[in-house]
Amino acid sequence: MLATAESCTGGLIAGGCTALAGSSRWFERGFVSYSNEAKAELLGVDPALIAAHGAVSSEVAQAMARGALQRSRAQVSVAVTGVAGPGGGTEAKPVGLVWFGFGLPDGPVVTESRRFEGDRASVRASTVAHARSRLLEHLTGPATVTWRR
């Protein structure tokens, strides 16, 4: 079972998953934790972690993915936190920067970042596509499933 923990995508990953017929067999729940307070309340992310590293960081993506596993019945999670734009970016964390956390069965939470180009809608769409693709790769090897938008 899969749980999602989403910030910058606002539930788009969960929405894409549940658009697939039969997803109730493998999709458990989604957390939309857009604000820092929601990350703490819904997922148990320590506010001190956010204060130390910022919401858009490897550490927070990892904590979000771990929290989604701990607060659900899922065995797998994907978390995203980023700067979708058009504003909010900094030199250190520019618009388009997204951190991903993948909570995998019997394993550590794997994190990675990507920088996507384009407007807000493009950054969010690219984030969703990357999350799905990498999740499948982590679970099965190179992606063999075609996801429909």
Q: What is the pLDDT of residues 12-27, one digit of tens each?
A: 999 999 999 999 999 9
- Kindly list the distances between the CA atom of residue 13 and the CA atoms of 41, 67, 119, 148, in Å, as whole numbers in the listed order: 20, 17, 18, 12
pLDDT tens sequence across 24-47: 999 999 999 999 999 999 999 999
Distance spanning both ends of the chain, measured CA to CA: 21
Question: Does this model's pTM top 0.85?
Answer: yes
Cis peptide bond N-terminal to 108, omega within 30 = no
pLDDT at site 105: 84
Burial class of residue 56, CB neighbours in 10 A (0-12, 13-18, 19+): buried
pLDDT at site 148: 45
Percent of the chain with pLDDT over 70: 95
How do beta strands 109-115 and 97-103 pair? antiparallel
Domain assignments of the chain as residue spans, ordered by start: 2-140
For residue 141, is pLDDT > 90?
A: no
Q: Round the average pLDDT of the chain to a whole number and report it.
A: 94
pLDDT at site 95: 97
Q: Which has the closest alpha carbon to 149: 70, 102, 110, 132?
A: 132
pLDDT tens sequence across 44-98: 999 999 999 999 999 999 999 999 999 999 999 999 999 999 999 999 999 999 9
Which CATH topology does 2-140 take? Maf protein (3.90.950)
Confidence of residue 142 (pLDDT cuts 50, 70, 90): low
pLDDT tens sequence across 88-125: 999 999 999 999 999 998 888 999 999 999 999 999 99
36-43 and 58-70 helices, crossing angle to 10°: 40
**8 Å CB contact between 25 and 74:** no
